[in-house]
Amino acid sequence: MTDTTRTEPTGPATRTTRDLTKAAVSGWLGTAMEFMDFQLYSLAAAIVFNKIFFPDVSPAIGLIAAMATYGVGYVARLAGAVYFGRMGDRIGRKKVLFLTILLMGASTTLIGALPTYASIGILAPILLVALRLVQGFGAGAEIAGATVMLAEYAPTKRRGLVSSLVSLGTNSGTLAASGLWAILLAVLSEEQLLSWGWRLPFLLSFLLMIFAVWLRRNLKESPVFEERADVVDGVAMSRDEVETVLTDSALDEKQESVLEAGIRQRKGKAFFLALGLRFGQAGNSGLIQTFLVGYIATTLHAERSVPTDAIVYGSLLGFLTVPLVGLLGDRFGRRPMYLALTLLTMAFAFPMMMLITSDSTSALMLGMVLGLNVGVLGLFSLESVTMAELFGSRTRFTQLALAKEIGGILATAIGPVVAATLTAVTGSWWPIAAMLVVYSLITLVSAYLAPETRGRDLVRLEDAA
């Protein structure tokens, strides 16, 4: 048997500033690609896919079918979180992140090369759905893997700031995709857009994928993964293998306690705490970034550009908010910042809706921008580091990926539907504010119950709770 004797880890192996820079750019770029790919697809589904891939049905049914192909990606995300999360905990973060970026980039590029319904009939939308499933399968572990990698690479005292770069990738990707489509809509006629213009954003993503793949191929493995007590020759031991090693009389008391902590701790508490932390951010995002955009345009009868412009301005401000919250988390701790941001969101929920419904465009934008930065982007910045710190290194990738995807599906997918129902039944905006309060309260309680994780040794195999 391979020699599994290890000394108790005292911290992650050292990495140079250049290594950290590569990891930071890789994490930011991967998350930017994920959100750009999904935003490119969602915009294409809303604008052209109903005409290109579903032309033989009514416009309404075509739009529903196009959006349904968008939705299947979220089903695949959960499967990807399980599959790649377990792989990342078993054989390393680097290998998995290389595969996920390759899957996302290749599927997105191939969407741009698909023949249309006019060329091959029903096979065209079938291929579209297949590529969408592959795209979602890779994306399901991308942001979790990037979060884990950056947190495990970062210096302990700057972990919050460095990890927040993952959150900045969401802004970058969303803005890039929206900008590309805005240019196409501005310079191309409808005939040009439908014949070839729609392909350009997808095909151009190939260049970004090549750079991202090259960067990750040359990225060193997470120093935390290399220092894990249960990793031998680059592969984590199974539970049975660890149990066998624990019976080896050659292990001293310290070595035995490290391995025992990783496999005998009862799991579950940290996962549910992380799910609660995720719920507020994801729920608030679904309400502010998705539901309110439609509500403002259809119910408040504002110009459609008003809420979308507000999201753009809020995303731009987020380039300051996200690293600032990361810095404050490093300075004051994760729990105090979580408590402060969730309390601010709860206090601002009703005033925000009053601003949005005040018949003033400037007030509406102010409400949206502040709500997005405090209740969504600020929490996302904290989430990027806190969830990584909550989990032990043996199952960090898997648990973090599942918490993100399950929380996202439950809160982001269901929230807008519930909000639409409640506002229709009541004829008022107050259910939106109430839901923001409830979502934020869930995160507030989770943060209160969670241990302070700032400065935690990420090499430890057991969860923080």
Running DSSP on this structure, what letter comes out for residue 158? G
Separation of alpha carbons 64 and 326, rounded Å: 39
CB 52 within 8 A of CB 32: no
Burial class (CB in 10 A: 0-12, 13-18, 19+), 50: buried
Model confidence at 1: pLDDT above 50: no
pLDDT by residue (tens digit) across 190-244? 888 888 888 988 898 888 889 888 888 888 899 999 998 888 888 988 888 888 7
At residue 431 the predicted structure's pLDDT band, cuts being 50, 70 and 90, is very high
Give the burial string for 54-89 (b: 16+ CB within 10 Å, else e): beeeeeeebbebbeebbebbbebbbebbebbbbbbb
Beta strands in 133-277 (DSSP E): 231-232, 235-236
The pLDDT of residue 174: 81
pLDDT of residue 10: 44
Average pLDDT, the chain: 86
403, 275 in Cβ contact below 8 A? Answer: yes
Q: Using 50, 70 and 90 to split pLDDT, how confident is the model at 123? A: confident
Band of residue 11 on the pLDDT scale cut at 50, 70, 90: very low
Q: Cα–Cα distance between 365 and 363 in angstroms, integer?
A: 5
Contact call for residues 212 and 105 (beta carbons, < 8 A) = yes
Tens digit of each residue's pLDDT (9 = 90 or more) over 275-324 = 999 999 999 998 998 788 778 877 888 886 788 788 889 989 999 999 99
Query: pLDDT tens digit string along 451-464?
Result: 999 999 999 999 99
pLDDT at res. 251: 67
Q: What is the pLDDT of residues 358-415, one digit of tens each?
A: 989 999 999 999 999 999 999 999 998 999 999 999 999 999 999 999 998 888 777 8
Give pLDDT tens digits for 232-280: 888 988 888 888 777 775 666 666 777 777 777 788 899 999 999 999 9
pLDDT at 39: 73
